[in-house]
Structure 1
Amino acid sequence: MQKTALVPHARLPRAHHDRHVLTSIVDVFGVAHWLLTGRAPEPGVDVQPFDALVVSVHPDGTVELTELSALRTRWPHLDRLPDGGFVVAASRTRRYEDGDQVQVFDALGRETWTFSVGDAIEHLLVDDTGEIWVGHFDENPLGIRRWSATGQLRWACDHAPSAGWIMDCYALNVSGPVVWACPYTDFPLLEIRPDRPDRPMKVRANTVKGAKAVAVHGGRVAFYGGYGEERDRLAHAELTEASVEPTEVGLLTLPDGTLPGRRRVVGRGSRIYVQAEPFNAWGVFDLGG
């Protein structure tokens, strides 16, 4: 089976390796961000507000540091807004987080807004206009929704009959005006264009099951991940008007040729970013490159 190696993209500077990585993301502009604390959160202990450091590594290697004050979640999602601020969200809601599940910070790390988007966040990704896309997992099957940075619901997916039940947003790709998703249970490929009121969502039938990330370039698509032995699968396909037609299947590896093990994945346009444990480096596969 053909192997494709990730290309190194960004690395956490060694000076910060002594801190605990709460989470990490690659934003819509290709900048990698790490949310760091002094130590790992203690399971079963109520979270008290704490400060954290965001280390941002730009594609040219420039490093930027931002202190965020009074975070209130143990298991956060993170992304950056185009104005330099950050969004931090709790993946699970608790009573003490009602109304402040999502915290919005300005470029100086000061909290400016809070709101809630619903329990069971699988993905939280900011697009190039500053809109926040949230995909939920099956403990709260809200599907896929788009929010403003001030908590206004902009768009919500309708459960189109041809898409089946959108119960769990397995893969979400957010970059420019088009958002792509591949949800459980039927795993259709959804092409979402919310600014087209006549047809905001196009559904393509798809036989590639269980992918955790998707990349699209022109008429081609790549799916990464799957169930069981297909965990490291990289499946290529072509887009037709109504379906996804598989063409070849291989494996996606780390730059050194090994398989990732535990990892984070992010889909952005033609790119799939992968970060393997200990979560201090990002690699990239570019379908367009």
Structure 2
Amino acid sequence: MALSEPGYGNVIARDETLFNASRSSSQDQSIKAVVADLRDRGGHGGEGAADAMVCMGDTITHCDDCDLGQSLEQAAVFADGSDRLVHRRDGSSSWSRPNGVGKRACHSVSAVGVPRGSHRHPRCEHGLTAAIWIAPVRAPEYHLAMSPYVTTSLSPIPAGWQALHHAILADGTLAAIVTDVDLASEWARIHASPDGHLDPPGRIDDLTKEGSAKLLSWGEDGWKEGPVFPLETPHPLLGRFADGRWLVVGSRTRGDPNARILSPDGSLLTRFMLGDGIEHVAIDDLDRIWVGWFDEGIFGRGWSVPGMEWPPSSNGVACFAPDGSIVAVPTWPEEAGLIDDCYALTPAASGAWVCAYTDFALVNFAPGEPTRWWRNALVGAKAIAIDGNHMLLAGGYGSDAARLALVELDQRGSGEAAVTLATWQMPLRLAGSERPMLLTGRADTLHLIDGDRWHRWRVGDVVTALAYP
């Protein structure tokens, strides 16, 4: 059933003790129950090598030599180039390929994972309780839902204000910056103009100059209202330092300093320049400011820094101190492709993780340490969460906008391929060109705000769910 339900055809159930139960309980005509040795290619009643196999329950723990994989390989049970995934009792996994070929992604692990309760079986000397061998040659294309570990219903923001930006702060708090001017209606009027000519002319700049901004933070009792200050920018980004000071950054600038440090009560403390075309701003656990730029910031030359031929934005990612001075401009690996747009940026541990257009490599920057990176086959990812050598990637192009993927990062980070372990669908209700209010990662947690729902996924919970579905 674990193979038939996901969409595999010509499923053979082979087990003497399960033979009668399988034959009598299965109503699926694609399942054929036979009595045969699992390692016997000729006796299973099928044709050719298997594309996928699930060893359920205590199959492995009752093997004499705990090397069923070698026996199956010698019997040519599997198709050439198949992948093997072994789940252990502690939830860890290992991959291997009989022919020594590089690893390949498996998109059906979530449907054929270790069965519930398998952790109750006795442990063999190698700690194995169940194993799965997957050959994705004809694996079905499908996505299953992965429920968030927690979902919060958000109350409406205060009347008379409209949200401009949501952010996850360094301590995990959800914050928002709102304004008392109707920018949304003006943007809608601008976008609805077929030829770009507006009558009356666009008022975004005027509204921005007239408007006020307010900072909100989410708590147990709903939105807590914070300081009010001049809006100044229609595209504000937000962060908060450990001492309660706020960082408000305008995504676009015509050459004026676009970063403001505000006191906890909203008073202006200082300004400095972070460049035009900012996609991401995040403050890490050490109060350092990480910035990621999109193409107009990377390739534009609207600002300069003494002693630097090119502005920090030309690198796509940079790290700044709270006073705006440069901490590090990390080296982008040439082999990782060009960085034309920083799609995802997540502070974690002693640095930040980035996924960028054009090649969507997964890159880890830490000031003072060598850059690490992995090749990544999941294009268009918009958010990253990381825990150890496992990572969640969210988003993508077109039908992959709601994709949630778990990948594994092997080796040291010298250009190895990230292994896609499974993909799911996030509960994204928006459609078409609409975007969620927030899709971002912070350390080991992925955050999605879709309408009035705030969903969170932790990497460790997803890994556990994959091991014990």
TM-score bracket, normalised by the shorter chain, equals 0.7 to 0.9
Assess, with a 3 A threshold, how the Cα gap between structure 1 residues 209 and 68 changes in structure 2: closer, same or farther. same
Could you report, residue by residue, the CA deviation over 1:167-223 in whole angstroms, capped at 9, with x for unpaired residues?
111111114313111111111111111143xx1x11111111110011111221111
Which residue identity lines up with residue 443 of structure 2 in the other structure?
Answer: G
Of the three residues 394, 399, 418, the one matched with 1:224 is 394
Matched, 1:82 2:242: yes
Matched, 1:267 2:424: no
Assess, with a 3 A threshold, how the Cα gap between structure 1 residues 25 and 281 changes in structure 2: closer, same or farther. farther
Which residue identity lines up with residue 109 of structure 1 in the other structure?
Answer: G
Q: Which has the larger radius of gyration?
A: 2
TM-score of the pair, normalised by structure 1: 0.88
TM-score of the pair, normalised by structure 2: 0.56
Of the three residues 285, 294, 302, the one matched with 1:137 is 294
Which residue identity lines up with residue 56 of structure 1 in the other structure?
Answer: S
Measured in 2, the distance between the counterparts of 1:83 and 1:102 equals 18
Q: Is the CA contact (8 Å cut-off) linking 1:23 and 1:35 kept in structure 2?
A: yes
Assess, with a 3 A threshold, how the Cα gap between structure 1 residues 17 and 39 changes in structure 2: closer, same or farther. same
Q: RCO greater where, 1 or 2, for CA within 8 Å and sep 6 or more?
A: 1
Measured in 2, the distance between the counterparts of 1:236 and 1:167 equals 25
Could you report, residue by residue, the CA deviation over 1:16-54 in whole angstroms, capped at 9, with x for unpaired residues?
154200111111211111112223224533231643221
Assess, with a 3 A threshold, how the Cα gap between structure 1 residues 240 and 20 changes in structure 2: closer, same or farther. same
Could you report, residue by residue, the CA deviation over 1:59-114 in whole angstroms, capped at 9, with x for unpaired residues?
x557543213223101111111111121111111125xx12x11110111111111
Report what 1:33 is aligned to. 175
Which residue identity lines up with residue 417 of structure 2 in the other structure?
Answer: S
Q: Secondary structure at the match of 1:288?
A: helix
Report what 1:283 is aligned to. 455
Shift of 1:271: 0.8
Shift of 1:227: 1.1
Report what 1:20 is aligned to. 162
Could you report, residue by residue, the CA deviation over 1:242-266 in whole angstroms, capped at 9, with x for unpaired residues?
3311111111115xxx467521212
Report what 2:216 is aligned to. 55
Q: Secondary structure at the match of 2:335?
A: helix
Shift of 1:268: 0.7
Q: Secondary structure at the match of 1:5?
A: coil
Measured in 2, the distance between the counterparts of 1:129 and 1:286 equals 22
Matches within 5 A, 1:147-186: 147-186=320-359
Matches within 5 A, 1:231-242: 231-241=401-411, 242=416
Q: Secondary structure at the match of 2:356?
A: strand
Q: Secondary structure at the match of 1:167?
A: strand
Of the three residues 42, 46, 71, the one matched with 2:231 is 71
Size of the aligned set, in residue pairs, is: 277
Matches within 5 A, 1:85-96: 85-95=245-255
Measured in 2, the distance between the counterparts of 1:204 and 1:262 equals 27
Shift of 1:6: 3.1
Measured in 2, the distance between the counterparts of 1:17 and 1:191 equals 41
Measured in 2, the distance between the counterparts of 1:19 and 1:270 equals 32
Q: Secondary structure at the match of 2:230?
A: strand
Of the three residues 330, 340, 361, the one matched with 1:188 is 361
Measured in 1, the distance between the counterparts of 2:260 and 2:240 equals 12
Of the three residues 427, 445, 462, the one matched with 1:253 is 427
Measured in 2, the distance between the counterparts of 1:112 and 1:270 equals 32
Q: After alignment, is 183-192 or 241-250 more displaced? A: 241-250
Measured in 2, the distance between the counterparts of 1:22 and 1:231 equals 21
Structure 1 residue runs without a partner (length 5+): none
**More strand per residue: 1 or 2?**
1
* Percent of aligned pairs sharing the same letter: 29
Assess, with a 3 A threshold, how the Cα gap between structure 1 residues 281 and 132 changes in structure 2: closer, same or farther. farther
Assess, with a 3 A threshold, how the Cα gap between structure 1 residues 84 and 9 changes in structure 2: closer, same or farther. farther
Q: Is the CA contact (8 Å cut-off) linking 2:155 and 2:222 kept in structure 1?
A: no
Assess, with a 3 A threshold, how the Cα gap between structure 1 residues 212 and 247 changes in structure 2: closer, same or farther. same
Report what 2:13 is aligned to. none
Assess, with a 3 A threshold, how the Cα gap between structure 1 residues 181 and 212 changes in structure 2: closer, same or farther. same
Q: Is the CA contact (8 Å cut-off) linking 1:10 and 1:57 kept in structure 2?
A: no
Q: Is the CA contact (8 Å cut-off) linking 2:181 and 2:211 kept in structure 1?
A: no
**More helix per residue: 1 or 2?**
2
Q: After alignment, is 178-187 or 33-42 more displaced? A: 33-42
Matched, 1:124 2:286: no
Assess, with a 3 A threshold, how the Cα gap between structure 1 residues 90 and 286 changes in structure 2: closer, same or farther. same
RMSD of equivalent CA atoms: 2.1
Assess, with a 3 A threshold, how the Cα gap between structure 1 residues 175 and 281 changes in structure 2: closer, same or farther. farther
Which residue identity lines up with residue 322 of structure 2 in the other structure?
Answer: A
Measured in 1, the distance between the counterparts of 2:228 and 2:150 equals 28
